[in-house]
Amino acid sequence: MIDAAILVGGKGSRLGKITKYEPKPLLKIGKNRFLDLIISNLLKYNLKKIYLLCAFKKKKFFKLYHKKKIHNSIIYCIDEGDFKGTGGALYKLKKKIKKNFILMNGDTLFDIDINQFIKNRLKNNFGLIALTKNKNYKDNKKINNIILDKNEIINLSLKKSNLMNGGIYYFSKRIFNYITNEYSSLENDIINKLIIKKKIIGKFYYDKFIDIGHKDKLKYLRKNLSLFRQKTIFLDRDGVINKDVGYVINYKRFFFLPGVKRAIKYLNDKKYLVIIISNQAAVGKSLINESDLTKIHMKMKKELYDYNGSVINDIFYSPYYKYSKIKKYKLSKNDRKPFPGMLIKAINKWNVDIVNSIFIGDKLTDKLASNKCGIKFYFKKNISLIKQLRKINEIK
């Protein structure tokens, strides 16, 4: 797990009146803030800490995000003081960042695979930049018109090129040797100097990219709300992931069904989120506590990862039982299937693309919950999960 920082301190002057009272990262895209879309996209990479570097309207960020835990990450807002630009903003991270880290712009979304991105070795270089095509960004002056040599070293070009900065960086901690507590532009004052010294490398990606610092791009994203939503496969647990042997109260009773381990890897490779949605009334019945249930899930995920590197992104479970002797487990009935509460929570947390997502379960309650959210449902067939997934035409 590594740390990431997001630059959210800018005034968004290119958007004029739109950002007079609201910072760019907090602009609404449908029902969500743009920054929430960025964070939802980051959750699957299990970042340890996410720092928000704040200046303009900083109190809003602190109120919404400071010390907030989302999934496996904790968000910390950093007050950069007086506005110091994208370079000076990093000064407050000097004592907090202990190793290589990810830096992102708070007004761009670039849907690259962060895990693959950071596998690139920096060696003696100070940083790596994710690059995208420059088709419609004529007024972008920040690390524009660049070329890559055969060793992927970035060079500045006097002629127009089709490559540009995608707003995601992987930096060595040594970048802080160039950071001072005064106004500076990360791109123009720091990175360009390192490019001249041939100390910055680049990696080109074809993935979706948008910069909402332009009015037309902001308008386009608001009209195309599904552009960065995440396609997801929802799976029931008992009877789909593992053999249904009754209540699984310890890991000795947990047995993977045929083809499940390969199926999860298959979905990971297809860039689907994999989320388990499971009723676990055994908790409400006091047959197992939540701590032990979490241990079962941790062992399940570890066995998957050790087998072939496959990952389950999240698990939502309903511990409720209407006759429970423990009061809190009688509540929140909307979470228990056939009610859609767990699915709704997952959709909101992960910015799920409902149209291109699927639920596979083995009970009518799974189907009813799925139907209430408009998610396409398939009953688990009496074949291995990997075979069934390969036969489903919608999975691409």
From residue 216, give the alpha-carbon distance in Å to each of 37, 161, 219, 222, 284. 19, 22, 5, 10, 52
Residue where the block lists tokens 């990862």? 305
Residue 123 in this model has a pLDDT that exceeds 70: yes
Q: What percent of the chain has pLDDT over 70?
A: 97
pLDDT of residue 233: 98
Q: What is the structure's pLDDT at 14?
A: 83
207 is catalytic: no
Percent of the chain past pLDDT 90, that is, above it, reads: 80
Name the band, by pLDDT with cuts 50, 70 and 90, for residue 84. Answer: confident
Which residues are bridge partners to 352 per DSSP? Answer: 230
In CATH terms, 3-223 corresponds, of 1.10.357.10, 1.10.3450.40, 3.90.550.10, 3.50.50.60, to 3.90.550.10
- The DSSP result for 321-350, as a single string, is -TT-SSGGGGS-GGGSTTS-HHHHHHHHHH
pLDDT given at position 264? 97
Please tell me which residue in 211, 236, 335, 353 is annotated as part of the active site: 236
Tokens of 392: 């489903």
Q: For domain 232-391, give the fold.
A: Rossmann fold (3.40.50)
What is the pLDDT of the chain when averaged over all its residues?
93
Confidence at 157, pLDDT banded by 50, 70, 90 = confident
Instruction: Compute CA distances 159 → 141, 142, 190, 205, whole Å.
Output: 13, 15, 22, 21
Contact in structure between 239 and 168 (CB atoms under 8 Å): no
CA 202 to CA 194: how far, in whole Å? 12
**Of residues 192, 207, 251, 245, the one with CA closest to residue 114:** 207
**Per-residue confidence band for 1, with pLDDT thresholds at 50, 70 and 90:** confident
pLDDT at 273: 97
Which two tokens mark 233?
């496969």
pLDDT at residue 234, as a whole number: 98
What is the per-residue pLDDT across 343-358, written as a single tens digit (0 to 9) for each? 999 999 999 999 999 9
The residue type of 388 is Q
Report d(CA 378, CA 352) in Å as an integer.
18
The residue ranking higher by pLDDT, 120 or 201, is 201
Residue linked to tokens 């690259």: 112
Residue 51 neighbours by CB distance under 10 Å: 23
Residues of the chain with CATH 3.90.550.10: 3-223
| Contact call for residues 267 and 359 (beta carbons, < 8 A) | no
- To which residue do tokens 């979304």 refer? 109
Longest dimension (CA), the chain: 74
238 is catalytic: yes
More confident residue, 156 or 238: 238
Phi, psi for residue 10 in degrees, rounded to 5: -65, 160
- Model pLDDT for residues 301-327, shown as the tens digit of each residue: 999 999 999 999 999 999 999 899 999
**Is residue 389 predicted with pLDDT exceeding 90?**
yes
Check 36, 238, 335, 353 and give the catalytic one: 238
Residue-wise over 83-102: b if at least 16 C-beta within 10 A, else e?
A: ebbbbbbbbbbeeebeebbb
* 235 — pLDDT class (breaks 50, 70, 90): very high
The ranges of the chain annotated as CATH 3.40.50.1000 are 232-391
